[in-house]
Structure 1
Amino acid sequence: MMKRKRIILAAASVMAAALALTACGKKQETMVEETAASTETQIVETETQSETETETETEATTVPVIEERSTVDGKMQSYLTGEWKDEEVVTRRPIAVMIPNNSQAMPQYGISQASVIYEAPVEGRITRLMAIFEDFDDLDHIGPVRSSRDYFVYTAMGYEAVYCNWGLARPYVEELINRDTVQNISAGVEGIYKPADEAYGRIKRPGYKLEFTGYLFIDGLKDAVERLKYDWEYDDDYVPQFTFAAEDYRAEYKDAEDAVIVRPGGTGANSGGYGAYNPYFEYNEEDQLYYRYQDGKKQIDEMNNEQLAVSNVVFQYCHGEVRDAKDYLAFGVHGEGDAIVFTGGKAIKGTWSRMEGDGVPPKFYDEDGNEIIFNQGKTWICNIWKEFSEFAEYE
Structure 2
Amino acid sequence: MNVEKIDKSGQKKNARWESFKEWVKKHILAIVLVASAMVIAGVFIIAIHSIKYEQTASVELKLPTKKPAPKKFYSPLTGVEIANEAAAKLPVTGVMIENSPAARPQSGLKKAGVVYEAVAEGGITRFLALYQGEKPALIGPVRSLRLYYLSWAAPYQASIAHVGGSPNALSQVRNGNYRDIDQFFNDGSYWRSRDRYAPHNVYTSGEKLDQLNSAKGYNNSEFTSFARVDGKPVESPNATSVNINLSGSLYNTSYAYDKASNSYLRSMAGAPHNDREGGQIAPNTVVAMEVDVEARAQNYDGYEDVKTTGSGKAYIFQNGAVATATWSKADINSPLKLTDESGKDVALNRGQTWIAAFTPGRGSVSWQ
Query: What range is the shorter-chain TM-score in?
Result: 0.7 to 0.9
Is the CA contact (8 Å cut-off) linking 1:120 and 1:273 kept in structure 2?
no
State whether structure 2 residue 64 is matched by structure 1 residue 77: no
| 2:355 match | 381
User: Offset at 1:252?
Assistant: 6.6
The counterpart of 2:173, out of the listed 169, 172, 177, is 177
State whether structure 2 residue 208 is matched by structure 1 residue 224: no
With over 3 angstroms needed to count, the CA separation of the structure-2 counterparts of 1:296 and 1:327, relative to structure 1, is farther
Is the CA contact (8 Å cut-off) linking 2:90 and 2:133 kept in structure 1?
no
Deviations 1:248-305 (A, max 9, x none): x4367778x711111111xxxxxx535543211111112110111011111111113x
| 2:294 match | 321
Q: Secondary structure at the match of 1:156?
A: helix
- Aligned equivalents of 1:135, 1:82: Cα separation in 2: 13
Q: Secondary structure at the match of 1:142?
A: coil
- Aligned equivalents of 1:222, 1:82: Cα separation in 2: 21
The counterpart of 2:282, out of the listed 300, 309, 312, is 309
Is the CA contact (8 Å cut-off) linking 1:92 and 1:234 kept in structure 2?
yes
With over 3 angstroms needed to count, the CA separation of the structure-2 counterparts of 1:369 and 1:274, relative to structure 1, is farther
The counterpart of 1:100, out of the listed 91, 98, 101, is 98
Calculate the aligned-residue CA RMSD, in Å. 2.3
| 2:203 match | 215
- Aligned equivalents of 1:366, 1:331: Cα separation in 2: 23
| 1:369 match | 343
Is the CA contact (8 Å cut-off) linking 2:76 and 2:224 kept in structure 1?
no
User: Offset at 1:326?
Assistant: 5.3
| 2:242 match | 262
| 2:111 match | 113
The counterpart of 2:191, out of the listed 198, 201, 206, is 201
State whether structure 2 residue 314 is matched by structure 1 residue 339: yes
Deviations 1:202-239 (A, max 9, x none): 1211xx3211111013333233323333x32224xx32
With over 3 angstroms needed to count, the CA separation of the structure-2 counterparts of 1:130 and 1:274, relative to structure 1, is farther
Is the CA contact (8 Å cut-off) linking 1:199 and 1:218 kept in structure 2?
no
Report which of the two structures shows the higher radius of gyration computed on alpha carbons: 2
Q: Secondary structure at the match of 1:131?
A: strand
Q: Secondary structure at the match of 2:199?
A: helix
| 1:233 match | 220
Is the CA contact (8 Å cut-off) linking 1:123 and 1:327 kept in structure 2?
no
| 1:89 match | 87
Deviations 1:102-137 (A, max 9, x none): 221111112211111110111111210111111435
Is the CA contact (8 Å cut-off) linking 2:113 and 2:353 kept in structure 1?
yes
Q: Secondary structure at the match of 1:223?
A: helix
- Aligned equivalents of 2:113, 2:280: Cα separation in 1: 15
| 1:353 match | 328
| 1:167 match | 164
- The residue correspondences of 1:277-316 to structure 2 (distance < 5 A) are 277-304=251-278, 306-316=279-289
* Residues matched between the structures, number: 298
With over 3 angstroms needed to count, the CA separation of the structure-2 counterparts of 1:372 and 1:224, relative to structure 1, is same
State whether structure 2 residue 231 is matched by structure 1 residue 250: yes
Is the CA contact (8 Å cut-off) linking 1:150 and 1:173 kept in structure 2?
yes
| 1:186 match | 182
More helix by share: 2
- Aligned equivalents of 2:234, 2:157: Cα separation in 1: 30
TM superposition score normalised by structure 2 = 0.75
State whether structure 2 residue 143 is matched by structure 1 residue 146: yes
Structure 2 residues without counterparts, runs of 5 or longer? 1-67
User: Offset at 1:388?
Assistant: 2.9
User: Offset at 1:318?
Assistant: 1.4
Is the CA contact (8 Å cut-off) linking 2:339 and 2:346 kept in structure 1?
yes
Deviations 1:25-45 (A, max 9, x none): xxxxxxxxxxxxxxxxxxxxx
Q: Secondary structure at the match of 2:275?
A: coil
TM superposition score normalised by structure 1 = 0.70
- Aligned equivalents of 2:355, 2:322: Cα separation in 1: 14
- Aligned equivalents of 2:197, 2:302: Cα separation in 1: 22
One-letter amino acid matched to 1:336: S
Aligned sequence identity (%) = 26
Is the CA contact (8 Å cut-off) linking 2:74 and 2:81 kept in structure 1?
yes
With over 3 angstroms needed to count, the CA separation of the structure-2 counterparts of 1:140 and 1:253, relative to structure 1, is closer
